[in-house]
Amino acid sequence: MNTHPSLPVSLLPGGIVGQEEELVQRISEIYGGISKLTCLKPSMEVNRLFSQLVLLCIPPNPIDCSKLAGEAQAMRGKLIRLCGEAEGLLESHFSSLLSSHGIPLDHLSLFPYYANYVKLSHLEFTILSRHVDRPPSKVAFVGSGPLPLTSIVLAKDHLTAASFHNYDIDPAANAMAARLVLPDPDISKRMVFHTADILQVTHPLREYDVVFLAALVGMDQQEKERVVEHLARYMAAGATLMLRSAHGARGFLYPVVDPATLVGFEVLSVFHPSDEVINSVVIARRLPVPGPCAGDPLVLPTKCSDLAPFNPLLLNHGGLMEELTLEEQAS
Ligand X SMILES: C[S@+](CC[C@H](N)C(=O)[O-])C[C@H]1O[C@@H](n2cnc3c(N)ncnc32)[C@H](O)[C@@H]1O
Cα distance between residue 255 and residue 219, in whole Å? 6
Cα distance between residue 256 and residue 278, in whole Å? 12
Main-chain phi, psi angles of 90, to 5 degrees: -65, -45
Q: Which is nearer to ligand X, 31 or 254 (CB)?
A: 254
Minimum distance between the CB of residue 214 and ligand X, rounded to whole angstroms? 4
- If one asks whether residue 88 binds ligand X (CB under 6 A), the answer comes out as yes
- If one asks whether residue 211 binds ligand X (CB under 6 A), the answer comes out as no
- If one asks whether residue 85 binds ligand X (CB under 6 A), the answer comes out as no
- If one asks whether residue 86 binds ligand X (CB under 6 A), the answer comes out as no
Distances 210 to 145, 243, 286, 293 between C-alpha atoms, Å: 18, 11, 10, 22
The type of residue at 249 is A
Q: Give 233-272 as a DSSP string.
A: HHSPTT-EEEEEE--GGGGGTSPPP-GGG-TTEEEEEEEE
Q: Which is nearer to ligand X, 144 or 245 (CB)?
A: 144
By C-alpha distance, which of 319, 216, 321 is closest to 271?
321
Minimum distance between the CB of residue 109 and ligand X, rounded to whole angstroms? 16
Binding map of ligand X across residues 149-168, x = CB under 6 A, - = no contact:
xx----------------xx
Q: Which is nearer to ligand X, 24 or 98 (CB)?
A: 98
Burial 70-85 (b: 16+ CB within 10 A, else e): eebeebbeebbebbbe
Q: Which is nearer to ligand X, 227 or 313 (CB)?
A: 227
- If one asks whether residue 246 binds ligand X (CB under 6 A), the answer comes out as no
- If one asks whether residue 91 binds ligand X (CB under 6 A), the answer comes out as yes
Q: Which is nearer to ligand X, 142 or 249 (CB)?
A: 142
Bridge partners (DSSP) of residue 163 are 138
Minimum distance between the CB of residue 270 and ligand X, rounded to whole angstroms? 18
Residues 213-232 that bind ligand X (CB under 6 A): 214, 216-217
DSSP class of residue 206 equals G
Applying CB under 6 A, the residues found at the interface with ligand X are 87-88, 91, 142-145, 147-150, 167-170, 173, 197-199, 214, 216-217
